[in-house]
Every structure is written in C-alpha cells, then in structure tokens.
Amino acid sequence: MTLAIARAALYAVIPAELLFAVLLLSGVAPPAPLIAVAEAAVAAALVLEAVVAGRLFRAARRRGMGRRAALRAVYEHMVPDKVRRVAAFDGNGLLSLVLWVARRRHGVPPGAVAVSYARQLTPVLTALLTVMIVETVGAELLLRAIGAPVWLRVTILVLDLYGVQFGLAHAAACVTRPHVVSAGELRVRHGVFFDLRVPRELITSVRVSPNYNESGMVRVKDGTLAVEVSSQTNVVVELSAPVTVVRPLGRRAEVTAIRLFADDPSAAVRALRPARTLDPS
C-alpha cells in the first residue's frame, strides 16, 4: 500500500515540477500561496519517497544484495516496468546519437556481420524531421504574431524540440543498432525499441521472402514475429523450438518463426548459412 502511494506521489510531483519550471522560465510568477502549497506537497512526496526507498534498500541488503544490486532493486520496485522501459528508450536514443556522430555501432562484436535495415527509413525520417522543424519555427512565429503568452510559447517549443530530438534519436538508433549475425546467435533489432537474441542452433531454415503488407513495428501473430520497416519484411527465419519475445512495452510471446527486413536480404541469408545447412534463398 505504501509503495502504491509513493508511486502515485511520484507521478504527481514530476509533472507539477515541470509545470512550475515552464512558468518560471516564461517569466510568469504564480501566486505566493500556490507556490507555498505546491512546495509543501512536493516536500512531503519526496520525504515519502525517501522513506519507502530506504525500507526497500534495507530489505534488499538483508537479503544479501550488494549496494548496487540493492539500489537497482529499489528502482525496479518503485518505478513500474513500462515507465522504466520508456525512460530506457530515451536514454538509449541519446546514446545512439552519440554513436552516430562518432560513426560507431552498438553490439557488433569483432567477426560478426551487421545486417542493416535503415536504408528505407532514412528518406522517410528525413522528410518527417524536416516537417517537424518547419512546424516548430512556424508555430513560434504564429504564437508571437497573435501575442500568445510566453508560458504557452515555451511549453509548445519544448514539446516541439523534444519531438525533433526523438526523431533524430530514432534515426540514429536504426543506423547504429543493426541486426547482427555472430557465430552463436542472430540478434534481431529495431532501433532502441526491440532486441531479440536467437541461438544459431535453433535456426532450421532461412530464406528471402518479401512481404509488403506488414502492420505494426513489432507484431506477433500465430507464432510468427514480424519486425517491419516501412511495412515490409523480406527475410524469413524458421526455428526448431520456440523463443520468448519481449515486445517494446514488456508483453511476452512465444514464436517459432521470424520475419524481418534487411537492406540486402541475400547477404543476410548468406551470413546465416554457415551455421548449418539451410533452405536455399
């Protein structure tokens, strides 16, 4: 019960603090009594968070966990899985931007084959980002022209800039996090949102098979996983035993076949072929 109250307080405090930050940055001074009440509520929520976190930390330590493991356990208890996943998407997206600038890739060990899938995404994302940037500038000019209050302009500008950053991060993640074929596994990815490791010994066949009617970035139906790019897949991988798929927001499913997209599907099939005798492409 206390943990549920602490979570609810956390959800209330974060947007409230963001709202006050936007108001203050915009030069809008809320009434003093409102500020006093809000700060008292924030202080009470923070004290509650600290008490609950302390109890969870001590309990984890009593179970024999190290400090780092105990802190991670507290984080996982207090922050729901879906919230942690969304936060990880943002963090890994920013890391992908750094890797993109440095011309490096994530999770491609020496001797592994990187199977890119971002070629068709690049024009679409470029056009989308261009539209978003034009919309950001246009919205700011329009709001200035109609005399909109500063707090509203700042709020919309922050949201627009976050959208641009999100789009750039997604483009960078798709480039820097390709599918990977290594000696022991096939790693199927889609930016920072999806990552599946499939042992090579489970692969019974692989073939080129274009499909132009995929729906949903990561979709599971009738035991088949589809990881699409621009509504397309072009490589089919059959498995001898089910593997567990964890979708972007945590839902799990068992699959025995995988459809994925590769910029060069024939090269992807050739990279997988040395593991065992596979069906011809």
Tell me how far the alpha carbon of residue 273 is from its chain's centroid. 31
Q: How confident is the model at residue 49 (pLDDT cuts 50, 70, 90)?
A: low
pTM of the model: 0.73
Which token pair is 214?
């995929």
Q: How confident is the model at residue 70 (pLDDT cuts 50, 70, 90)?
A: confident
Q: What does the pLDDT average to over 100-123?
A: 92
Lowest mean pLDDT among 25-29, 102-106, 140-144, 215-219: 25-29
**Is residue 278's pLDDT more than 50?**
no
Question: Using CA of residue 92, residue 95, residue 97, residue 100, what is the dihedral sign?
Answer: negative
Tell me how far the alpha carbon of residue 132 is from its chain's centroid. 20
Q: Could you say which DSSP state residue 119 is in?
A: T
Distance in angstroms (rounded) separating the CA atoms of residues 263 and 37: 57
**Which burial class, exposed, middle or buried, applies to 38 when counting CB atoms under 10 A from its CB (0-12, 13-18, 19+)?**
middle
Q: What is the pLDDT of residue 196?
A: 97
Q: What is the pLDDT of residue 280?
A: 46
Q: Where are the domains of the chain?
A: 2-79, 85-109+118-177, 181-275
Half-sphere exposure of 16 (CA within 13 A, CB side): 16
pLDDT tens for 218-236 read 999 999 999 999 899 999 9
Which token pair is 72?
């991670």
**Is residue 3's pLDDT more than 70?**
no
Cα separations (Å) of 21 from 14, 28, 151? 11, 10, 10
Q: What is the pLDDT of residue 241?
A: 96
Q: Which residue has the higher pLDDT, 49 or 134?
A: 134
Burial 58-68 (b: 16+ CB within 10 A, else e): eebeeeeeeee
Distance from first CA to last CA of the chain, Å, rounded? Answer: 57
Q: What does the pLDDT average to over 59-67?
A: 83
Q: What does the pLDDT average to over 188-201?
A: 96
**Is residue 168's pLDDT more than 60?**
yes
Q: What is the pLDDT of residue 263?
A: 96
Which token pair is 103?
């011309």
Q: How confident is the model at residue 15 (pLDDT cuts 50, 70, 90)?
A: low
| % of residues, the chain, pLDDT over 70 | 79
Mean pLDDT of the chain: 83
Lowest mean pLDDT among 1-15, 37-51, 72-86, 202-216: 1-15
> In terms of DSSP bridges, do strands 218-221 and 224-227 run parallel, antiparallel, or are they unpaired?
antiparallel
Distance in angstroms (rounded) separating the CA atoms of residues 203 and 177: 22
Neighbour tally for 240: CB within 10 Å: 11
Q: How confident is the model at residue 216 (pLDDT cuts 50, 70, 90)?
A: confident
- Residue 169 parent element (H or E): helix 150-176
Q: Which residue has the higher pLDDT, 219 or 3?
A: 219
Q: What is the pLDDT of residue 31?
A: 59
**Is residue 275's pLDDT more than 50?**
no
3-state secondary structure 227-269: ECECCEEEEEEEEEEEEEEECCCCCEEEEEEEEECCCCHHHHH
Report whether 57 contacts 75 (CB < 8 A): no
Residues listed for the chain: 281
Distance in angstroms (rounded) separating the CA atoms of residues 114 and 233: 17
**Is residue 20's pLDDT more than 80?**
no
